[in-house]
Chain A
Amino acid sequence: MKTHDLTSLLEAMFHQSKEMILFVDRHGEIVYMNAEAEKTLDLSDYDRNQFINICGHCMGMAASGDPDCTTCFLMSKEKLTFQVYMRTRYGKRVTYIANFQQIDPENNISVFTLNPLSELMKQQEFEHQKLLTQRIIQAQENERKRISRDLHDGVTQELLNVLLEMRLFKYTKDREELDEKIEDSEEMLSHLLDYIRNISVELRPASLDDLGVEAALKTHFKWLQKQYGILVDFNTNLNKKRYRPEIETVIYRIIQEAAFNAVKYSGSDEIMVNLKEAGSYNGIEIHFEIEDEGAGFLMGAEPKGSGLGLFGMHERISSVDGELNIDSEPGRGTKVEGYIPVGERIV
C-alpha cells in the first residue's frame, strides 16, 4: 500500500466532493461544510445567524408529500437515505437524498451528506428509457414475426398449392377433369387474394389515405365484429371531412388501440365510440371517446399486456398537441377520451 496520509485524503475528498457534506452539532449548528455546500447554500441571501444553523437551510423532510419537521433527523443518531428539501442560493427549493450519521458521540457531532435527487432521477429515467426501448424492439420483432408467419403460412402455402395444381394441367387429357382443376385453382387464387387483402388492411388500411378516418374506422369496426364478435356503436359527425394525414393517423391508431384494449380486456360485448368535430375559441377540435362497460382496471396498476399500448397512445397524442385521458374503475368499465386541435380542414 502506498503511504498516503489518510487525513489529507479525507480532506481532499471533503473539499472536492460533488455531494454536500456538513458537520453539525446536536443543535444543528454547522461546524464545517465543504465547498459544494458553500456553493449551493450561499450565505449572501441570509444573515449570519441563519447561516450557521442547518435549520436555516432545511425546509423539512419529504416523507410523503409536504415538507415536514415532526421527525427531524437531528433527533436521531442515524438516519439513512431519506428525502429532504433544502433552500439553495437562488431561494429555490430543491429535493435531496440525504444521510445523517453521528460520528462523534462525545461532542455530539454528526455528518450530514446531501445528493441532489434530480441526478438520481436522471439515472432512473435512463434505466426506464432503456427498458422501454427494449420493449419497443421486442414489440417490433413480434410484429415482424406475425407478418412473416402470415406470409409464410398463408400466402406461400396457398401459392404452392395453386402451383402444384397448375402443373397438373398439362397432364390432364380429359377436358372435364381439366375444367374442374382450373376451377379449383381459380377458387384458391381468389381465397389468396382475399387473404392478402386482409393482411394489408390489418397493417394499414388504404382507405385511411383515400377516404379518411371515418371510412377507415367503419371498415375497422366491421372487421372487429367479424373477427371477435364485438359490436361497436359508432357515432360521428365528421361526415367525410378530411384533416391533415398525421392527424387522421393519430385518431385512427388511438381509437384502434383503445378499441382493441376493450376487446381484449373488458369482457364486454359492446363498445361505444364517439368521434366529433367541435369548434372552440382557438379553432376546430376533434373530440373522441371510446367507452365500454366491462371489467375496468385499477388505475396505476401493473398493465396486463406490455404496457406499450397506453404509452403509444400518449406518445401519438402529444405529437399532435392533443390531450388524452383514461378513466377506469374495476367493475365499472373504461373510458378513453381526448381531443386534438386540428387547425384547419382539408377540402
Chain B
Amino acid sequence: MLVDLAGGWNPMWGRLAWSQIPYDNPILAPLFVAVVVGAILVLGLITYYGKWTYLWKEWLTTVDHKKLGVMYILIGLVMLFRGFIDGLMIRTQQAWAVGAHSSGVFGATHGYLTPFHFGQIYSAHGVIMILLAATPLLVGFMNIIVPIQIGARDMAYPYLNALGLWLTAAAGALIMISLFVGDFAHNGWFGYAPIFELQYSPGVGVDYWIWTMELVALGTTLGGINILATIIKMRAPGMTWGRLPIFVWATLSANVIALTSFPALQVALALIAADRYLGAHFFTAGLGGNLMLYTNLFWIWGHPEVYFVILPAFGMMSEIFPTFSEKPLFGYITMVLASMAIAGVSWLVWLHHFFTMGAGPYVNSAFSVATMLVGIPTGVKVFNWAFTMYRGRLTFNTAMLWAIGALFLLLIGGLTGMMLAVPAINYMVHNSVFVVAHFHTMLLVIVYAIFASVIYWFPKVFGFKLDEFWAKTMFWLFSAGTVLVFVPMYMLGFMGMTRRLDYVFNTVWHPYLLVMEFGIAVYMLSVLAFVALLYVSIRDHAKNQVGADAWGTSRSLEWLTHSPVPFYNFAVLPHISARDEVAWRRDNGIDHVQPDHYEDIHMPNNTGVAIILGGLTFVLGFALVWRIWWLCALSLLAIVALVIYRSFKGDPGYIITAAEVEKMEKEALRREAQISK
C-alpha cells in the first residue's frame, strides 16, 4: 500500500467491513428496511405481471433516443426527490438547532443530526442536485427533442447514447449506496483542499464523491460529443444553420461547453485520487502542493458547468414563449449570438468563485468585469422574451406559467449575481447564505424551465396532455415554497449568517429559519401535487389525447410528426423550408399533407452491451472506493474486453420496409382522425 489506511485493509474485501454498515443509525436503518421492502415489492410486481422481457427488450437495451431521454428524466426526477429530502433535512436541522438551549436527539447535542452527518447531507445535496438531477433532466430533454427538431431518425451514435445513460445511472447508484455502505463526503459538493486529503478524511466518503463525479463527468462528455455530432451531421435536408430551432442552438452552445470543460473536472478529481490513493501531494500544504490550485481547477470546470445547465433552460423558455404568445420568437439571431456569447464568456469568469483568495485588485477587477459582461447577452435574452410576448395572444397554461416564473427568478438571480460580481460586496457576503440564495435562485430558473418543458413536451412523447388543474396546483405550491424559503435566506445572508451551519448560535435568526421550514413543507405539498398530477393524468389519458400539434400554436419541427412520436420519428424525412417549419406549413395550409409514397427506413439495433458496461462501471467504482484491487482489475478488464468485442461486432442495423411504414402510418393517422372528432 502506498498510503496508510485507518481501520485496516485485507486483500479479499479491501476496506469493507460489517462495521461500515450504519445499522445503528436511527435515520438510515429504517430507511434501509423501507428501500429493501420497496425494491422487493417492485421486482415482485414486475415478475408477477411478467414484464421482464418487455422491460429488457423495450427499455433496458434500447438505443431509441426518446426512450433513453425518458429514462434520463426518470433518473433526474428520482435524484431530484433525493436531493429535496436532503434539503428538507438541512432546513429541519437549522430550524431546530438554534441557540444553546435547543434540544438534541439521536446523539446530536443540538437538533437531530451530528455535525459529521450534517456535512454529508449538504455535500450530497449539492452533488445530487447539480450533477444527478439538473444534468440528467436537461440531457434527457436534449436527447428527446434535438433529433426530432432537426429531423433526424436517431442520434449520430445511438449506442454511445445508451452508454452515457447507463454511466449516469451507475453514478446515481454509487451515490445512493453510500447511504447504506460506508458514508459520503463531508467536504461540500465542490470540495476543499486539504480537508479531502486522506489524513483529514480517512473514511471512504471522499472516495465515493470522487468516483461519482468522475462517472457523471464521463457520461456527460460522451453525451456532449454525441449531441454535437448529431446537430452538425444529421440535420434534415433544408435545415440550414439559420433555420435551426432555438432549443437546438442552446443545446449546441451548452454541449460545446460540456465537451471543453468536463475534462478539467476529471483531471482535478484524478489528482485528488492520486493524493488519496498513491500518496501524491498535489493539493497538500507540504511538499510543493498548492491548496488553492484545486479550487482553481475545480472552478475552471465549475463555472462553465453553470452555463451548461442554464443555456438549455434558456432554450426551453425560447420555445415555450413563442408557442403560447402565437408569435415567432423576437430576435432569433441575437438569441443565437447571446447563447454563443454566454458560452464564450463562461471560460473567463471562474475566479469569481474565490475572489477572497487574495489575488489582489488587478486580478479581481479583471474577473469582476468579465463576470458583469455575462449580463449583456443574458439581458438581450430577457428583452427578446419580453418582446416576444409583447402584443402577443398569450395563453396562460401551466407551461407558460412556469416559463414566466423562470423569467422572474432570472431577474432576481441575475441582479443578485451582479451584486456578487463586485469584489467589494463579494468580500462582505462571501460564504454567507446570500450566495446560497443567489445560486438557488439561478438553479430554480432551470427547475422552472424543466417543469415548463415537462408540461410542454409531455404530449409529444406520450400522446396525451397532463391535467391542468393539478399542474397549476403544483406550480402555485412550488412558487409559494420558493418565496418562503429563499426570501428569508437572502435576508439572513445580509444579517451575516454563514452557509452550512449545523448549529445556529444566533437566536435572532430563529423566526426566519422557521419561515423557511414552513416553506420547505409547502415544497413537500408541491411534490405530492406532482404525484397527483401524474396519477390523474395517466388515469384520464383517454380524455386528453392529442394529435401531432398538441397546442395548436406550435412552431418548430417536432410538432410535425405524430404524438406519441413513432420510433422512426418521421415516416419520410421532411424537407425544411422555413425557420418555424410547422408554423410555416400551417400558414400555407400544407400541414396535413401526407407523403404519396413511403420508403424503407434504416434503424439501429438494440444492444445489451451498454447496460452491462454501466453495471461493470458501477462495480469498478465500488471496488475503487473500497480499494478491493482484484475486483478493480477484473471489472476494468471486463470493460475493456467488452468495448473491444462490441467495436469488432459493430451494428449493421435493420430495415423497416416501406409497406410496414405505410401500415404504421395509416394506424397513426386513423388514431389522429379519431381524436379530432
Q: Is B a genuine binding partner of A?
A: no
